[in-house]
Amino acid sequence: MTRSELEHLIRTSGAIANDDEIIIIGSQAILGQFPDAPDILCMSMEADLYPRHHTEMAILVDGAIGEGSSFHELYGYYAQGVGPETAVLPRGWEKRLVRVFNENTGGVAGLCIEAHDLAISKYVAGRPKDLEFTRELARHGLTQLATLRQRLTATKLSRPLKDLIKARIESDFKPAAIRKR
């Protein structure tokens, strides 16, 4: 996905949901903070998002421009309408949202999860594709070890899960891991 494709999804989602703010919580939120993010981080052709003020409208967004829709067939990318509970995020994440608002978003603001908050949500999800994503964030210098440690302490998780995620974070920042990728 490119930044302009994300902007298209923001504009279209806002129109469908009659909402002037769309929160992007999936991997493609990286395009908010880093419009020219490395290709390896932009391989997904879906953006997980929801209308900020009308979260219940996410299902309509998903139906209209989601996977398998005519929109998806026409453009090759799509929105996945999700809910706020989809991602586990550190306290204060809403204050750190990265705003995407320009002529391409048609009066709708895209509010993208900040890179470190996004990484924490990916560490928590823990699927192989999520952990590859966090490794690439670290390798490309888009996340910082100290900030991830701080955000982890601000995330409500069980002690065993927090310990597991701490190990995942540390592993991503070992010199061998950064050189290898």
Q: Where are the domains of the chain?
A: 3-115, 126-180
Q: Is 142 helix (H, G, I), strand (E, B) or coil?
A: coil
Instruction: Please check whether residue 61 is in contact with residue 80, taking contact to mean a CB–CB distance below 8 angstroms.
Output: no
Indicate whether 113 pLDDT > 80.
yes
Indicate whether 141 pLDDT > 50.
yes
The pTM (predicted TM-score) of the whole model is 0.94
Tokens of 30: 């990286």
Sort strands 109-112 and 98-100 into parallel, antiparallel or unpaired: antiparallel
Indicate whether 177 pLDDT > 90.
no
pLDDT in tens, 63-110: 999 999 999 999 999 999 999 999 999 999 999 999 999 999 999 999
Instruction: Please check whether residue 110 is in contact with residue 10, taking contact to mean a CB–CB distance below 8 angstroms.
Output: yes
